[in-house]
């Protein structure tokens, strides 16, 4: 997921330099891949409710390996678009929503913490892949960097996919029985959650895709620009676990609101920093709250949808999240090309986060009213 969500951030400048493309065109490679994850996540989530997650993960891992190997040999923009769309649709679609739904199915209590720990892997990947890619590009060039990433995927993802196991039927039944019936109709919940997630992911995509080039422009460094992003996403791992536990304590929606407010309030701080040292200090503070947003989304979907089609519901809601990532990453490049600076890129991210916060708050107030009505 680190490769697909923001791993191309380290490739933006090298691809621009090599092919002469503008930043919006290169950013669109990532955005099209995220559109692929969005559409593929719906299909893979539907399949995960019906066939073994292990099989789905093996197909996704194999596809992602092939995409990276072929990307190293691509020579036209449309080839990158096609490859990363396929990698997102089959690779990303298989390796996130079905896995998170599988994790939640194993736990009757403490599911928030479990999902926070599992989703922390995405946060680690989103930091490690750009950081490692930057150094690989400097040492070997962008083509060899894609090849090495593909080899690494082959020797890690394929064996790990074999470890996916469904929960015992008795444990799954007990977990489902302990949840109770959702208070709101899925026909209301899924559209509301989807629109909210569109806003939060539009915002969070901007630092993920454009922090490295922002740092490079401000400080003039090369591969070192990936360092603050890595630290931000290490902090995000802690945030995912912390907010997972917080969701178990105060409820998923309130935990999601806290994390969203944290992310939104700090977003514009990135464009006010004028030194590499400043980015090193600020990035982990932002990252801790940012990390809790996705945990809040995942645990909220689990709480508010029936167990029988949870993977499908997770894939559907996350489809809007990946669309938001695609929009956020693309608009970041477009506004940079338009203005020559990153202010409006990050300002738009702040606006998107505010819209998300309003919608999540409305969902929470509706739930509170429903609980009061049931109590009386």
DSSP string, 212-270: HHHHHHHH--SGGGHHHHHHHHHHHHHHHHHHHHHHHHH-HHHHHHHHHHHHHHHGGGG
Supply the range of the domain harboring residue 28.
Answer: 2-375
Q: What is the DSSP letter of 95?
A: S
- 113 SS3 class: helix
Q: Helix-strand-coil percent breakdown of the chain, rounded to 5?
A: 85, 0, 15
Burial of 108 (0-12, 13-18, 19+ CB in 10 A): middle
- Structure-block tokens of residue 196: 């909210």
Q: At which residue do the structure tokens 């380290």 appear?
A: 10
Q: What is the DSSP letter of 106?
A: T
Identify the pLDDT of residue 182: 59
How many domains, the chain?
1
Low-confidence ranges of the chain (pLDDT < 70): 170-187, 376
- 170 SS3 class: helix
Query: What span, in angstroms and rounded, lies between the C-alpha atoms of 54 and 364?
Result: 35
Identify the pLDDT of residue 27: 84
* CATH classification of the domain holding 365: 1.20.1250.20
- Structure-block tokens of residue 258: 């806290």
Query: What span, in angstroms and rounded, lies between the C-alpha atoms of 36 and 39?
Result: 5
């Amino acid at each position: 997921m680190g490769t697909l969500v923001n791993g191309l951030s380290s490739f933006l400048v090298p691809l621009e330099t090599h092919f002469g493309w503008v930043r919006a065109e290169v950013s669109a490679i990532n955005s099209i891949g995220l559109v692929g994850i969005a559409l593929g996540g719906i299909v893979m989530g539907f399949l995960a409710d019906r066939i073994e997650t292990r099989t789905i993960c093996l197909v996704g891992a194999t596809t992602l390996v092939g995409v990276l190997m072929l990307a190293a040999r691509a020579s036209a923009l449309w080839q990158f678009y096609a490859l990363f769309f396929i990698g997102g649709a089959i690779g990303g679609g298989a390796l996130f929503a079905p896995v998170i739904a599988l994790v939640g199915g194993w736990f009757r209590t403490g599911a928030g913490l479990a999902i926070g720990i599992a989703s922390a892997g995405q946060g680690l990947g989103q930091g490690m892949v750009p950081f490692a890619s930057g150094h690989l590009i400097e040492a070997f060039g962008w083509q060899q960097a894609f090849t090495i990433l593909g080899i690494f995927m082959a020797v890690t993802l394929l064996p790990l996919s074999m470890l996916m196991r469904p929960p015992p039927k008795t444990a799954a039944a007990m977990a489902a029985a302990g949840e109770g019936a959702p208070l709101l109709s899925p026909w209301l919940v899924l559209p509301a959650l989807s629109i909210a997630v569109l806003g939060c992911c539009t915002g969070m995509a901007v630092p993920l895709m454009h922090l490295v080039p922002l740092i490079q422009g401000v400080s003039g460094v090369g591969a070192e620009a990936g360092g603050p992003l890595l630290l931000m996403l290490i902090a995000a791992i802690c945030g995912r676990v912390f907010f997972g536990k917080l969701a178990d304590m105060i409820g998923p929606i309130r935990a999601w609101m806290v994390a969203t407010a944290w992310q939104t309030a700090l977003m514009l701080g990135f464009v006010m920093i004028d030194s590499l040292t400043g980015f090193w200090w600020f990035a982990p503070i932002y990252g801790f709250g940012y990390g809790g947003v996705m945990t809040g989304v995942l645990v909220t979907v689990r709480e508010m949808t029936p167990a029988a089609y949870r993977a499908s519901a997770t894939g559907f809601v996350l489809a809007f999240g990946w669309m938001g990532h695609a929009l956020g990453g693309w608009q970041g490049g477009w506004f940079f090309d338009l203005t020559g600076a990153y202010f409006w890129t990050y300002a738009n991210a702040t606006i998107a986060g505010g819209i998300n916060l309003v919608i999540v708050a409305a969902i929470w107030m509706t739930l509170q009213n429903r609980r009061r009505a049931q109590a009386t």
